[in-house]
Structure 1
Amino acid sequence: MSVLTRNYRDSSIHFQKDVDSKSSDGILTVSKNDLKRLNYPQWAPTWDPKDDHAFENIKPFKHIDRGLFGDEEFKSLRNVENTEFKHVTPKLGLEITGLQLSELTDKQKDDLALLVEKFGVIAFRNQNFKNLEFDEIKKIGEYYGPLHVHPTSGAPLNHPEFHMTFRRGDSKEYQREFSDKLNSIGWHSDVTYENQTPGITFFTMLQTGESGGDTQFLDMFEVYDRLSPLMKKKLEGLKVVHTSKEQANAAKQEGGIERKDPVESIHPLVRYHPVLKKKFLFAHRGFSRRILGLKSEESDNLLLFLFKHTQSCLDAHVRMSWDENTVVVWDNRRVLHTRTLDWDSTDIRHAFRVTTIAERPVGSLEEYESWTPELEEENLKLKDYYLSLSAGEYYEKVIKNN
C-alpha cells in the first residue's frame, strides 16, 4: 500500500452503520435522535438505495466559464447600496455584506464568478440562500455549469445534486475522529477524480454551534509561485492519477451507497486557469496518488515533498468562520480546503454544498484552446492503456517522442 493512501472513514459525509439508521421504507439516514434535533429536517442527509449506481460519470462537454464575461471592476456588485467588501488577506479571501446571492442578476452572477476566481474564496454574510426551494438553489448553481452528483455522500431525499456535511450530536464523535490520527486537517479540492473537475462551489451553513468548525483555504497559485524556476520546469508536463476508489470502498464498508462507479482520471500536475491565465499546482493528499512515468518511490517522494510544501504555506491561507446565515463560495480549481474539527461538544453542524462542473484540467493556454469533447472522447479510450504502463514504457511510448 502506498504511503499516500488515505483513510476515508469520513463520518461527516458518509453513512455510519454503527450510529445511523434506516427508515421503514429502506432509506438510510442519520439517527432518530439526530433527526429530532435538526433545524432544517428537509435537509437531512439520506442515502437512497434506489440511487445506487443509478448515475453515470459526466461525459465530456465544452465548459464556458462565466468569469470570462465578468467586469474586472465589479461595478454591478460594488455599487449595490449598503454593500461592504472586506479583504481577509491582500491576495486571498473576501467577506461581503449587503448582497443577497438569491437576488443577483445574470450580469451580477458573471461578475461574481470573476470575483470568486480572483480572490479564491468569499464569505457572504446574512444570506437567505438556505430558505430557497431546492430547485431555486439548483438553478443558481446551474448558471455556472452542470451540477455534480457526489458518488457517496448524504443528500436530501430525491435531490442528489446536493452534498451534505453533517457532524452528529454525539459526544463520542470527537473521540472517534482522533482515535487513530493526530489531527483532522485534510487539504483537498473536491472530487478531482472526475475527468472534468469542479469550478464554482456554494457551501451553505444550516445549523452550527456558536464557534468552531472553521473551513480553511489554501491558495495554490501562491504555493506554485513559491517554487524555484528550475523546480517549475521539472514539474511542467507531468501527469497525476486522481482516484475515487478509496472513498468508494470506505462508503461501502460503512454500509452506504455508490451512486456511480469509481473513477480514475489523469490530470496535469501543473494546471492552467483559463480565466486568470495563471498556472498553479494541482495535486493534494485527498485524491492524487501517483505521477505517471516515475517509479513508485520517485512518485511518492515527489508528491510528499509537494504536499509538505503545500501544508507549510500557512502564510498563503485563510480561515473562514461560520454562522447560520453564511454562504461561502470558492473556486475549486485555485484553492484547497479543509475542515477544522476543534470542538468536542454535542453541537450539531449541518451544511450543504452545491458544486458545478468546469473544464477538463489542462496544462496550458494552447491545450485549453485546442480541446474539444470529441478529442477528449478519443483520449479517454487510451486512459487504461496509460495507467497500465510501467515507468520505462511510459517514457518510451508517451514522453520520448513528444
Structure 2
Amino acid sequence: MSVLRRTYHDGAIHFQKDSDEKTDGILTVSKENLKRLKYPEWAPTWDPKDDHAFQNPKPFKHVDRGFAGDAAFKSLRDVEGVKFRQISPKLGLEVEGIQLSSLTDQQKNDIALLVEEKGVVAFKKQDFKNQSFEEIKNWGRYFGPLHVHPTSGAPLNHPEFHMTFRRGSKKEQEKFFADRLNNVSWHSDVTYENQPPGITLFAMLQSGECGGDTQFLDMFEIYDRLSPLMKEKLDGLKAVHTSKEQVSAAKQEGGIERKDVIDSIHPVVRYHPVLKRKSLFVHRGFTRKILGLKTEESDNLLLFLFNHTAACLDAHVRMQYEEDTVVVWDNRRTLHTRTMDWDSEDIRHAFRVTSIGERPVGSQEEFESWTPELEEANIKLTDHYINLSAEEYFNEVIAKERK
C-alpha cells in the first residue's frame, strides 16, 4: 500500500462543522465571524444547490495571452510612477504604480508574460477588491475559462471564486497542530484537473499586521538542478493526480462536492509552451503514483522528488500581504504553500480567481500536436491506465512509444 496518501486539515477553505453554521439553508461561517468581516459580501459559503451541479470542463484549446506579450514590457514600464522590485534573481517581483483593474488588453498580455517569466508577482496598492464580482470574473476570463473549485467556500451565487478564511481563533491553530509538526504543504492548485490552472490571481481582503504569507518555489530551477541522467529517466514518465482525499476531507466536515472526484494523468516533467522550458510537475498535494512502476518504486521516486523540492529553499520566495495586495502567479512553473505562523485573533480573508490553462504536456512536439478530440479519447482511457500493473503499462504504453 502506498505511503503517500495525504490527510487534509484545510480549514481555511473547507466548511468546519464545529465552528461554522447553516443560515437560511446556506452553509457559511458563524454569525460572530460574519460581524467581524470588512467585506461580508465575500463571506465563504457552501450552497447545497451547488452540490454536484458542475462538471469538469471538456478539453479545449487554450490561448495563452503570454504569446502576445511584449518581452520588453513597454506598456507596463511606460506607466508613470511605476516601480519594479526583484524579490530574488530568478523568482518573484513586486510592482507598484500599475492598477490591475484598469489595464488595456496589451497590458494584460504583458502581465501574462511578466507573471510567466517571474513566476509570481505582487501588485501593491490595488483597488481590485472594490470591483464588482462580474468585473473581476471578466478580468480573469481574459486569460482563460474560470475554474470552479469542488469543495472550497465561495461568495453566495459566485462559485467561480475560491475563498480562504482563517477564522481568527487560537483553537483553530491548536486543532491544526494537534497531530502535525508544520503547515508546509507544497502544491500547485487542483492539478487533478485534466487542464489545471494557468494564471491565478489572489487578492487579500482582510488580514492582520503580519503573518500568513504565501511561499513559492521555482520548479524550473528545481528541475534544472537534477543531473542529466535523472532528467533523462524522468522525461516521458506519467503520474496520477487525484482529488479523492481533498473531497473526502470536505465531505467529512459536512461541506459540499460541486463536481465528481477526478483522476488525471500528467507528465512528471512539464513543458511550458510560452517560455519553452521544462519544470518538475509533481507535488505532495495531489500526485500519488508514477505509472509503470510498482508501488514501492513509485513511492520512493516521488519521495525523493518531494524531498528535493522541499529542500530547495534557495529557489524560494515568501510573498507578504497588505490588505491592498494582489498576488498573481503561474501555476505551471511554481508550487506554493500557506504559512500558519501567527497565534493572534486576526481574521485572514482572501479570494482567488483562477483561469484554466492548457493540458500539461512534456514537450513542444506534444503541445503542437495536441487536439481536444485526441484528448477526449485519452481521458476515456484514464481509469484503464491507472489500473494496469507495472508490467502491463510498460508493454501497452512505454514499449509502443519506444518503437
Both proteins in one fold, TM over 0.5:
yes
Task: Provide the C-alpha distance between the structure 2 equivalents of 1:266 and 1:186, rounded to a whole number of angstroms.
Answer: 21
Q: CA deviation at 1:282?
A: 0.2
Show the 5 A alignment for 1:26-65.
26-65=25-64
Q: Which residue number corresponds to residue 269 of structure 2? A: 270
SS at match of 1:265: strand
SS at match of 1:302: helix
Q: Which residue number corresponds to residue 143 of structure 1? A: 142
Cα shift readout 1:181-221 (whole Å, capped 9, x = no counterpart): 00001000000000001000000000000011110000000
* TM-score, normalisation: structure 2: 0.99
Task: Provide the C-alpha distance between the structure 2 equivalents of 1:177 and 1:145, rounded to a whole number of angstroms.
Answer: 35
Q: CA deviation at 1:171?
A: 2.1
Q: Which residue number corresponds to residue 280 of structure 1? A: 279
Q: Which residue number corresponds to residue 187 of structure 1? A: 186
Q: Which residue number corresponds to residue 289 of structure 2? A: 290
Task: Provide the C-alpha distance between the structure 2 equivalents of 1:171 and 1:221, rounded to a whole number of angstroms.
Answer: 37
| Amino acid corresponding to residue 9 of structure 2 in structure 1 | R
SS at match of 1:249: helix
| Amino acid corresponding to residue 280 of structure 1 in structure 2 | S
Is 60-69 or 165-174 further displaced after alignment? Answer: 165-174
Q: Which residue number corresponds to residue 8 of structure 1? A: 8
Q: Which residue number corresponds to residue 120 of structure 1? A: 119
Task: Provide the C-alpha distance between the structure 1 equivalents of 2:38 and 2:172, rounded to a whole number of angstroms.
Answer: 20
Task: Provide the C-alpha distance between the structure 2 equivalents of 1:401 and 1:381, rounded to a whole number of angstroms.
Answer: 19
Residues paired across the two proteins, number: 401
Q: Percent identity?
A: 74
Are residues 1:361 and 2:363 paired? no
CA RMSD, aligned part only? 0.6
Q: Which residue number corresponds to residue 171 of structure 1? A: 170
Task: Provide the C-alpha distance between the structure 2 equivalents of 1:319 and 1:127, rounded to a whole number of angstroms.
Answer: 19
Q: CA deviation at 1:2?
A: 2.4
| Amino acid corresponding to residue 69 of structure 2 in structure 1 | G
| Amino acid corresponding to residue 244 of structure 2 in structure 1 | K
Task: Provide the C-alpha distance between the structure 1 equivalents of 2:342 and 2:9, rounded to a whole number of angstroms.
Answer: 19
Show the 5 A alignment for 1:308-323.
308-323=307-322
SS at match of 1:353: strand
Task: Provide the C-alpha distance between the structure 1 equivalents of 2:179 and 2:384, rounded to a whole number of angstroms.
Answer: 37
Q: Which residue number corresponds to residue 333 of structure 1? A: 332
Q: CA deviation at 1:9?
A: 2.3
SS at match of 1:186: coil
Task: Report if aligned partners of 2:2, 2:296 keep a CA contact under 8 Å in 1.
Answer: no
Task: Provide the C-alpha distance between the structure 2 equivalents of 1:318 and 1:211, rounded to a whole number of angstroms.
Answer: 16
SS at match of 2:193: coil
| Amino acid corresponding to residue 54 of structure 2 in structure 1 | F
Q: CA deviation at 1:8?
A: 1.2
- Runs (4+) off by over 2 Å: none
Q: Which residue number corresponds to residue 383 of structure 2? A: 384
| Amino acid corresponding to residue 15 of structure 1 in structure 2 | F
Q: CA deviation at 1:353?
A: 0.1
Task: Report if aligned partners of 1:9, 1:251 keep a CA contact under 8 Å in 2.
Answer: no
SS at match of 2:400: coil
Q: Which residue number corresponds to residue 213 of structure 2? A: 214
Are residues 1:226 and 2:225 paired? yes
Q: Which residue number corresponds to residue 94 of structure 1? A: 93
SS at match of 1:5: coil
Q: Which residue number corresponds to residue 19 of structure 1? A: 19
